[in-house]
């Protein structure tokens, strides 16, 4: 073993049982490395002294996790990457944090994010941007870029993020880690600061599929604090070990080539498809039709819901406050000073599409498009078990290259938005490196509550690819 950074959680547990070094000493090394390297990486905004230990012995006991800054933990800063909430301390635990505490997990720190989850590059934040561990001149993705970078750099065993339109899968793709966006309602949103409530999900980053599954088993399930959580039970057993994909039907979009993507992404996608076929999967040609044109509907819906959800931030109860003579003046100045440029842009657009003269023209049409997309997916999953897509059109792009191009930034999510609008689970699995040494990935999308099927099948492909064995660890590139 060269470093604790070379191990997954289940590998670390097995290693300590055979070779003797304690998990405590590994975690101490991880804390020291994180504090030393974070100034140049920007993955964390705050480190936590809270050990979070519970009494239950579980596969997660003692492992350090990273938590995105929009997920509440008692006594922790829950700043959402915004100046507005820069000094806000949560008085309670979110359900996911409470369940991780009960399972014996520890908490490394709070990770950097795009302000209120609005962004695809972790550059829209008042607390410093994140850089990609593979190339410090490139983005780690957003909005959960800090969580992805922490796991990729070996500075957390696992991490939680949130995914509204691709904010877990895109950073996982850019940083070369596994990222899971579960079915909407599968994991409680109690304690997750709302951006677009009908789209928001808490997601998971891990070093491999099995680690992601362990965290998913711990945090998923019905929650009395969140009436939108699903009744579907979570299977507590380990993933089944299989060595082929016989009997699995995977949808292969015939019209995907019309999308604009890089040559490296195209080659990697077709290579991944060939591997799936070699493993015995049946490739089913399907047409996605208007599913690939869902970014417009997504933009209208997420901005409309953001305008509604962020209405509470007026400076009167908590957060940034500018004192003026009247409430209206205080409200205006508090938001002007507290919110960043991207948040203001989305709030203005959201207010516009919800206004009396435009609600029918924009918002209601977007709602209709979403329902049509859900119907299309239901028909597709009558023909297949999983859908295989690239995660993004390109590998990680250069920092600053899209800050003045909001449309280009939004189109980064063109391949992740459909699963979000339909509330379906999706998994990003790292596959290879492109010609510039940057990670690429495959995205699997499944029907509602098919996380276990998706993880089991992805694990077979993961074993064949061996991404963690063939790559140079990103933490060795800059030390």
Q: Which residues have a catalytic role annotated?
A: 68, 143, 167
Residue matched to tokens 């409530």: 197
Alpha-carbon distance of 437 to 421, in angstroms, equals 32
209: left (phi over 0), alpha (psi -120 to 50) or beta: alpha
Q: Tell me if 88 sits within 8 A of 123, measured CB to CB.
A: no
Q: Tell me if 122 sits within 8 A of 112, measured CB to CB.
A: yes
- Radius of gyration for the chain, computed over Cα atoms and rounded to the nearest angstrom: 21
Alpha-carbon distance of 170 to 114, in angstroms, equals 13
Beta strand extents in 316-417 (DSSP E only):
386-390
The alpha carbon dihedral of 125, 126, 132, 133 has a sign of negative
Enumerate the H helices of 42-194 as residue ranges.
Answer: 95-102, 145-152, 169-175
Alpha-carbon distance of 204 to 224, in angstroms, equals 21
Please give the span between the terminal C-alpha atoms of the chain, in angstroms, as a whole number.
Answer: 18
Alpha-carbon distance of 240 to 251, in angstroms, equals 22
Q: Which of 134, 135, 198, 164 is nearest to 70 (CA)?
A: 164
């Amino acid at each position: 073993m060269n470093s604790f950074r070379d191990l997954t959680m289940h590998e670390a547990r097995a290693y300590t049982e055979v070779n003797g070094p304690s998990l405590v000493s590994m975690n101490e090394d991880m804390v020291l490395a994180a504090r030393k390297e974070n100034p140049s990486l920007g993955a964390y905004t705050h480190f936590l002294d809270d050990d979070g230990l519970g009494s239950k012995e579980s596969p997660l006991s003692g492992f350090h996790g990273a938590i995105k800054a929009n997920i509440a933990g008692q006594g922790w800063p829950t700043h959402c990457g915004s100046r507005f909430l820069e000094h806000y301390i949560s008085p309670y635990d979110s359900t996911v944090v409470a369940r991780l505490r009960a399972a014996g997990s520890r908490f490394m720190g709070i990770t950097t994010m795009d302000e209120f989850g609005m962004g695809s590059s972790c550059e829209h934040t008042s607390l410093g941007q994140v850089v990609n561990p593979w190339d410090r001149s490139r983005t780690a993705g957003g909005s959960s870029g800090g969580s992805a970078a922490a796991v990729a750099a070996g500075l957390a065993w696992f991490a939680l993020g949130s995914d509204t339109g691709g904010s877990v899968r895109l950073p996982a793709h850019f940083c070369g880690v596994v990222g899971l966006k579960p079915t909407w309602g599968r994991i409680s949103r109690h304690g997750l600061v709302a951006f677009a409530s009908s789209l928001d999900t808490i997601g998971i980053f891990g070093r491999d599929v099995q680690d992601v599954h362990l965290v998913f088993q711990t945090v998923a399930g019905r929650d009395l604090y969140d009436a939108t959580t699903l009744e579907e039970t979570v299977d507590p057993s380990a993933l089944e070990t299989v060595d082929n994909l016989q009997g699995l039907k995977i949808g292969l979009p015939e019209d995907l080539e019309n999308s604009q993507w890089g040559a490296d992404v195209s080659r990697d996608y077709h290579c991944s498809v060939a591997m799936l076929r070699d493993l015995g999967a049946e490739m089913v040609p399907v047409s996605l039709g208007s599913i690939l044109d869902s970014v417009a509907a997504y933009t209208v819906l997420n901005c409309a819901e953001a305008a509604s959800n962020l209405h509470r931030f007026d400076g009167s109860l908590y957060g940034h406050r500018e004192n003026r003579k009247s409430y209206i003046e205080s409200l205006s100045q508090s938001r002007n000073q507290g919110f960043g440029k991207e948040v203001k842009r989305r709030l203005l657009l959201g207010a516009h599409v919800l206004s009396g003269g435009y609600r029918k023209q924009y918002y209601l049409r977007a709602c209709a498009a979403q329902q049509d997309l859900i119907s299309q997916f239901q028909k597709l999953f009558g023909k297949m078990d999983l859908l295989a897509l690239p995660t993004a059109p390109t590998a990680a792009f250069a920092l600053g290259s899209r800050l003045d191009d909001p449309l280009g930034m939004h189109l980064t999510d063109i391949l992740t938005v459909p699963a979000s609008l339909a509330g379906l689970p999706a998994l990003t699995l790292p596959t290879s490196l492109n010609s510039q040494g940057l990670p690429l990935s495959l995205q699997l999308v499944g029907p509602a509550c098919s996380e276990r099927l998706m993880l089991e099948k992805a694990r077979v492909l993961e074993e064949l690819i061996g991404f963690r064995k063939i790559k140079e660890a990103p933490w060795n590139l800059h030390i």
